[in-house]
Each structure stands twice: as C-alpha cells, then as structure tokens.
Amino acid sequence: MNLRKNLINSFKVLMLSSMVLASSQNLFAQDTSGKLPKHDQIEEQYTWNLKDIYKSEDLWEKDFANVEKTLPEYQKFVGKVGKSAKDLYELLKFDEKISITMDKLSLYAGLARDLDLGNSKYLALADRVSALSSKVASAGSFIRPELVAIPKTTLEKYFSEMKELQIYKQMFDNLYRTQSHTLSPELENVLALASPLMESPANTFSLFTGADIQYPTIIGENNKGEVKLSAGRYTAGLYSTDRAYRERVYRGFYKPYMEYENTLLSSFTGNIKALMFNAKARKYKSSREASLDPNNVPLSVYDNLVNTVNANLKVLHRWCDLKKKILKLDDFHAYDTYVTLFPSVKKTYPYSAGKELVIKSLQPLGAEYQKALNLAFDSRWIDVYETENKRSGAYSSDDAYGVHPYVLLNYNDELSDVFTLAHEMGHNMHSYFTVTTQPFPYANYSIFVAEVASTANEAFLLDYLIQNASTKEEKLALIEKELNKITTTFFRQTRFAEFEQFVSEQMEAGVALTPEFLTKSYMDMYQKYWGPSMITDKEEGYTWARIPHFYYNFYVYQYATSYAASQAIFEKIKKEGQPAIDKFLTFLKSGSSKYPIEVLKDAGVDMNSPEPIIAVVDRMNQLMDEMEKLLNEK
C-alpha cells in the first residue's frame, strides 16, 4: 500500500491538459516516403535516457523479483501496527521501501511502453507492474484501518518517544481529518464493490460519444467537397475563417447530441446519482463537499471563484463586443468565438528555437530555476519528436522518488508546441524541486495546485513573445492568444463549475432533470457569461450532453483556480522580483508537506480571496486596452 499516494490523496498524475493531436506529421521526423521514423532513428539528444531509472533491464527484473519476494513480509505487521512506536515506524519504513521501488518499476515500464505502443515487450512489462501493484495493494490493505484505530493520544506519545516518527505528523493529520468519513471495514468493502457500478455512467458516456455516436456529413470549407464531422474536425472547423462553414460544423456537430438527448440524460443524471450515493454513504452534506474534501479544499474556495467571476463578467462581455467589431459581424454566435482575428500571422518554431524561447522567457524566475531547467534540457529528460507508434500528446511523468521526472512531447514546429513545451516543463520543474527537497511521504503535490507552475510558465512565455514581437500583426495575434486562453481556461471552466454545482444542487433538492431543463439552464448561463452581444443558439444548450468534464467529479474548477493563482504569481514576480521568486520556489519545493491552500498562501496567493480572480480580470482588460491601441494606430 503506497501510503504517500493513498493516505494523503495528494498525488502527482500524468498531466495531459496540453494533449493535442497534430494536424500534420512532424516535418523533422518524416523520411522521404512521408512515414514516421522508428524511435531508434532519432538522434539520441532528442530522446529519453531511461538509464537514469535503471542502468539495465536486468536491474529492473531484479527489483521486480525482490518486491514479489518481499510481499509476504507485510503479514508480520498485521495486528501490530499500533502496538508500539517501534512497530509503527518499522511498518511505515517497510511500506515506503516497497512504494519507492514500485514507483521506479512503474515509471520505467510506462515510459518505455509510451515510446512504442506496438512493442509487446514493454506492453507486457507495464501489465506486469499493474498486476504487481494490485498484489501490493492487497498485501497492505490492513494498514489504513489499523492506522485509523490508533488513538490520537497514543500517537502523540509515539511521536515523543521516537523523533523519527515526527516526519509523519502531516500525513497522520490528514488521515485523522477524514476519519469521520471513513467507514467500517465491512462498509468500505461494500463501497469498493460498488465502485464499478458508480463508474458505469461515465463509461457509458465515454463509449457512446467516443465510438457509437455518428456525426453527419456537411459541405466543406468554401463550399468545396464534403466533410464527415468528428470531434477533431469540429474543433478545427471553429477556427475556420469561412463563417458559413463554421456554422455548418457547429450545427452539424450538435445534431446527434440533440437526437440522443434521452440516452445522454441517463448517463448524465446517473453520474450525479452516483456522486450523491458516495456523499451520503460517507456522511458528507453534499456531493461537492465530498469531492473537495480529499484535498482539504474548503467550499469557500469554490464559491469565491464562482461568485467573483459572476461579479466581473463585464470583462468577458467587452471581449465579445470587441471580437464582433473586429470581425465586422452584425450578429455574434458561439461558432464565432474561436476564429482567429489575425489569420495572416504564421511562423514556424523548430525545437531548438522553441527551447531557447522557453529558456529566455523563464529568466525572470531566477538562477536556481534556470539551473534546473538547463539540467533537464541538457540531460535528456525530454523525448521530443513524433515517431512510429509513440503515444500522442504531451505529459510530464508521474514521480518516482530519487529519479527526475520526464517529459513526453510530439513536437511539430508550431507555436502551440512551444507553449506545450513551456507548460510541461512547468510540471517537470515542480516535480523536480518537490522530489529533491521533500522526504518521500511528501514528495508529491495535490492536483489542486498541479496546473499552477505549468500555466505560470505559459504566462512568462507569452509575455516574452509579446514584448519581442517583430511586427504589430504578430503582437496582436499573441495578445489574442492570451485573451483566448483566459476565455477558455478561466471563464469557460468556471462556467462548467457553476453549472456542475447548479445541477447537482437541483437534483439533491429533488428537482427532476429533463433535457429541456438542462438545455435551458445551460443556455441561460452561457448568455449570462457572454453578455447581450451574444446570440445563444439552442445547440449551445446541449453542451451538458457532450462535455466529459461533467463526469470528472467537481474537478474543472481547479483549472480556473490554478490559472488565477499562476497569473497572480506571474504578476508578483514581475513587480517584486526576488522576494516573489523565493516564495514561488518555496511553493515548488513544498510538495504535500502542507495542505494545498496553505502551500499557495506561502507563494503569496490566497484562493479564498477575490484578489487572484480579479487579477485575471485586470489582465484581460489590460490586454484589450493594448489591442485597441494597436488597432487604432495608423
């Protein structure tokens, strides 16, 4: 049982927020036939050095065998965990040793697999680790119940008797904090057995929207040919400068969601019912409270975000008016919100250039950050290019204690790839500073703060690009990019969070959720956010039926809070310099040694305050001021 990840509920996950499917193959990686190269054909400097985890696969096998051999030793601790300080300490250190080895085994197998998803050898390695993880979890399943059973007074006595135990105080505080929501072993087992049933609505939605749903065929861009719609073509189509095509894409894409509203209603409401069941079983007042409590995030943080955004929606209304004016439209619809205002600006960014841009843009973070960043770039922590059977998208790897994190890219020389690089290096540096600073129990960080470092990096990169733009048009395009980022990452995710809260509270109050009720409710909320210049079509109301985030268990608000926190940190570093840098580095190094709200406070950001939310609003107004100024220049 990995106490660090399972007790604290504050873990590092693979961050796929910047995952994109490339619209074309990597020019660097193509051979003359247009095929992607195999991974071993890429220059070594652009590939991972997995020997930093294991020098040889024989050593991996040795560790694997040692864990299997050692598992029966868990039995010697059964019934003895709380008997004495010595017994408790020995159990914790034994479990840590197993967990550290399992993390290394998992990291190596997972990374090797992702480089070639067609390689059966590494697929088998990953499957073996997964199976072994289940055995470890089973062998250590007695630990949590026995830990919870230790009286606090007894634990305090153990802390005074053995100073080595004191490092675990925060871990035990979190354990006892959730004690009232921990059920008897029998009931916990019932909830575990019910878990597949509770996941069924989300699985049904995923399968239906990912495999079964059929999108219509529409007339193509500029009335040329025909296009069968898909999720990817929908996203790409909304960026088209052909407005009639955008509208066809938009209305066509929503058509099956409207046709299958009752099927989708079943999965949507089924998911809410599953959350309500879990909340009631664990004695929480609401599904929202049950979802936020594992990370010890108070409901006031969620409320502060939604309420402060609602009080400042005029900034989004202004952006709507400005886009409508620049596009010279008589009316403005949802399918007009993504199209670029400055389509003539196009540049390519080879990886070497993109890397230098990231390094230069992050110089304001100081010498210590730069040293770690250059270490990552120079030591093959990054697998850069798309190759045959390589996993798509981008991520910064899960942590393994004593090993640096890795970054996977599928770099394609686009500006978006440069931002993905900056984003993932933010995760990478956060993990690196955490793992090299904290002891094992706290060498991870809560998902509540997981996107702060990554989006802060994006803010520095965008600011650098804007300040160094070579033409007015390029500067305008970059300003638009940041405005769109605020719109999608901050306002859109807050709107999702507000809608998720609304429908959950309605069902908890006994209101019947019908397609008509959900559609009208979302339309009203969308209209409220975008303001009087927006014409909200009925199709937009069916967003409730197609967004997977509504199955993520009150997760999406964290996109907005992380973005707000990162922008506040960005502004503080620009204004204050080294004192703010020192606070940011403290944040990066804190891991889960404190609760996430407190960790952010150490960085100078209080997410219970309207200040970081208003900072985003102010930044958006500043950007629009600059855009209008540039547009008015002759």
Q: Express each pLDDT in 14-25 by its tens digit.
A: 333 333 323 333
pLDDT score at 263 = 95
> Average model confidence (pLDDT) for the chain?
91
Q: Indicate if the pLDDT at residue 224 is higher than 90.
A: yes
Instruction: Mean pLDDT check: name the lowest of 132-136, 192-196, 412-416, 615-619.
Output: 192-196
Say which residues have a Cβ less than 8 Å from residue 166's Cβ, sequence separation at least 6: 159
pLDDT score at 145 = 85
pLDDT score at 13 = 34
> Do 598 and 608 form a contact (C-beta atoms < 8 A)?
no
pLDDT tens-digit map of 188-218: 778 877 887 888 898 899 888 887 889 999 9
3-state secondary structure of 531: coil
pLDDT score at 193 = 78
The string of DSSP letters for 189-228 reads HHHHHHHHHHHHHHHHHHHIIIII--PPEEE-GGG-SEEE
Tell me the C-alpha distance between 106 and 397, whole Å.
11
Task: Output the six-digit token pair for 469.
Answer: 């733009």
Task: Output the six-digit token pair for 148.
Answer: 């919870």
> Do 501 and 302 form a contact (C-beta atoms < 8 A)?
yes
400: which DSSP letter? B
pLDDT tens-digit map of 587-606: 999 999 999 999 999 999 99
In the block, tokens 């890397």 appear at 355
Q: Indicate if the pLDDT at residue 138 is higher than 90.
A: no
Active site residues: 424
What residues pair up with 382 in beta bridges, in sequence order? 407
Mean pLDDT of 226-232: 90
pTM of the model: 0.88
pLDDT score at 3 = 52
Residue 425: what are its φ and ψ, rounded to 5°?
Answer: -70, -25
> Do 248 and 220 form a contact (C-beta atoms < 8 A)?
no
Tell me the C-alpha distance between 283 and 83, whole Å.
30
Percent of the chain topping pLDDT 90: 79
Q: How many Cβ atoms are within 10 Å of 175's Cβ, its own excluded?
A: 19
pLDDT score at 134 = 87
Tell me the C-alpha distance between 410 and 26, whole Å.
8
The string of DSSP letters for 551-573 reads GSSS-THHHHHHHHHHHHHHHHH
**Burial of 528 by CB count in 10 Å (0-12 exposed, 13-18 middle, 19+ buried)?**
middle
pLDDT score at 280 = 95
In the block, tokens 């993109």 appear at 354
Q: Indicate if the pLDDT at residue 28 is higher than 50.
A: no
- Taking CA atoms, 97 is separated from 4, 5, 12, in Å, by 12, 14, 19
Tell me the C-alpha distance between 589 and 594, whole Å.
11
pLDDT score at 552 = 87
Say which residues have a Cβ less than 8 Å from residue 490's Cβ, sequence separation at least 6: 309, 559, 560, 563, 564, 616
Identify the sign of the CA torsion 74, 76, 78, 83.
Answer: negative
